[in-house]
A and B are shown apart, each in its own frame.
Chain A
Amino acid sequence: MMTEERAVVEVEACTKTFDTGAGVVTAVDDVSLELGRGELVALVGPSGSGKTTLLSLVGALLTQTAGTVRFEGTDLTELDDRQRTALRATRVGLVFQTAALVPFLTAAENVALVGGFAGMAPAAARSRAEQLLTELELGARKNHRPGQLSGGEQQRVAIARAMLNEPRLLLADEPTAHLDRQRGLQVIDLVVATVHAHQCAGMVVTHDERIASKADRILHIEDGRLVS
């Protein structure tokens, strides 16, 4: 367990249920965990085990049915939609299964876009975006649109986008799912390096143990419960 000072996110006895119409499904069941600065946690489990739901709760995308999620001491249930949106824009970086870039924007524009969500001036966002892309060895590709980039390059752009606002928490939902093994390992190495370099908390969802082995800590989840 992380110490009180280091925790970015604290999850206590958290449960999330969904009413599917055919019945109530418990996706996350009485989960407690902490995510500390500079630490990447891998959340591993089979399909339908509740990995993505737990990630969504931690990232202020979903509200839990029971329990508490605190982000740097703030109970997320106390925030309204506007505040949760602002929190995601300024303090959470998200990387999805696919890069999910805006197709008509260039790589640099895609990265800079989220700067606007956080209130950053366009010129500053653009400058920071180009800097991040250069750090991720995409400087020469900054003016290319997603359709002109490979899958691995797109995912690196997505990581740059997630890091633009210098988040306190980086969440990645199976970021290597659509990449071949070599590119997948490159991307996960980049996520690990980013978390360590920026000293943010990180959580990566995967069902690939080789990917998970790159993390500082591995949590296994089955049927919505953490088992190790």
Chain B
Amino acid sequence: MNGRAVALGLTELWRTPGRTLLTAGVLSVLLFLTLTLAGLADALDRGSTGVLRSLDADIVVFNEEARLQLLRSRVPRPMTLGAAFVDGVAQVGTLALVPTSAETPNGRVRVTLVGFSATTPAEPTTLVEGRLPVDGEPGIAAVDVALRSHGVRLGDRLVLAGEREVEVVGFVEDSTFLQQPTVWVPPDVWARVQVSAFPEAGFAEQLVGATVIRTRPSADPTGVAVAIEAEFEDLQAVPLRQAVLAIPGVDVQRRTFAVLVAMSVAVLSLVVGLLFALLVTERRSRWATLRALGAPRELLVATLLVQGVVLWMLALVGGSLGTALLARVVPDAMPLDLRLPVVGLVGIASLVATVVGSSVALGRVARTDPAAAMSEGAR
């Protein structure tokens, strides 16, 4: 792309601000919609899967009847210990979840209590402030940063399930489960709250929720999972990403939003195609004149391409600002977040859509007949 094309393309955009802003505005609206959908999908997905994604683990082991559901899974502790001896396993830990409530400075909040074994793959890797509790610290907890919006600070005391008090000693980020903030405690705290919440289940010291495994670097997690299932017939072992997909709603949510985002990108491509088709038709005489005066085809195509890319950039900035603003004003109940990777992904997809959408128009420009300047063109 040569400098003349860049200069010509930019000069026109700069000196026709009304048209530039109108076109960029139309594209901004489409990108705003796309980014909002993508941001919503991302926030929903992260809000559901944070617990598992925050682990440095490769395999999650459930009891077979749990059907890969963390809340229902109950694995006998001896089996967890036994899994450590399966070939390819580097380290094991235990993870157990139970939905409950927590009294915060701003009132009662529904949370998911996570009992985890410290210094194992079940430990969250996303600590951002303070420290994590260690085994044998029953009155200590680390909580998700989402609880900060409920007034929770380091040193605060939370009352879990209306009766058990814990002190907040650390904050972890991106660790929510099914849109609820998490409270990370030693396994025995989980066991006692579990009994309070579901007295009929009774206290079972020899049961843990799920077993979390980190494999050796040389081992294939899928192969190790198969070996664990072969060793313990009542267990179901799956790679971490499969366990993430098994979280209720995650799979269908991902597929639904993928279709919606893809459709909005396709609409963007179509609109870009129509805008550029209009633009080229309107300027047909100018292209012909310039071709007659000796402008190479590549210069005209590059000029239009420069304009397309600049308009796309303006639209991406406009759409991102709009979505970021919306994310600030929508109620907390609506999970909407705009992260840089999402902007990047939508940006790349929309750039491809812009290029694809404008390709027909670019082809028409490339085929401009210079002789047309002498007849219809030079009007």
Contact = CB atoms under 8 A, between A and B. Distances in A.
B16 to A, nearest CB: 6
Contacts of B293: 88-89, 94, 113-114, 117, 161
Interface string A106-135: 000100011011100000000000000000
Contacts of A87: 294
B296 A61 contact: no
B137 to A, nearest CB: 71
Interface residues of A, number: 31
A119 to B, nearest CB: 10
> Chain A at the B interface: mostly helix, strand, loop or mixed?
helix
Given A61-B370, A100-B285, A100-B289, A117 B294 contact: yes
B378 A97 contact: yes
Contact of B292 (A81, A88, A90): A88
B374 interface: yes
B16 A104 contact: yes
A56 B294 contact: no
Contacts of A118: 294
A102 B286 CA distance: 7
A135 B206 CA distance: 100
Nearest to A116: B4
A125 to B, nearest CB: 10
Nearest to B299: A117
A33 interface: no
A173 B11 contact: no
B154 to A, nearest CB: 60
Contact of B289 (A56, A86, A90, A96): A96
A226 B83 CA distance: 99
A124 B178 CA distance: 67
B12 interface: yes
Interface-centre pick from A100, A104, A105 (highest chain B CB count, 10 A): A100
Contact of A105 (B11, B295, B378): B11
B291 interface: yes
B294 A100 contact: no
A23 B123 CA distance: 82
Interface string B346-379: 0000000000000000000000001101110111
A155 B11 CA distance: 23
Interface in B87-103: none
13 contacts: A55-B374, A61-B370, A62-B371, A88-B294, A89-B295, A92-B294, A96-B289, A96-B378, A97-B378, A97-B379, A104-B16, A117-B296, A173-B374
5 closest cross-chain pairs (CB), A and B: A89-B294, A96-B378, A117-B294, A88-B294, A104-B15
Given A89-B294, A109-B11, 6 more contacts: A52-B375, A82-B296, A85-B291, A85-B294, A89-B293, A113-B293
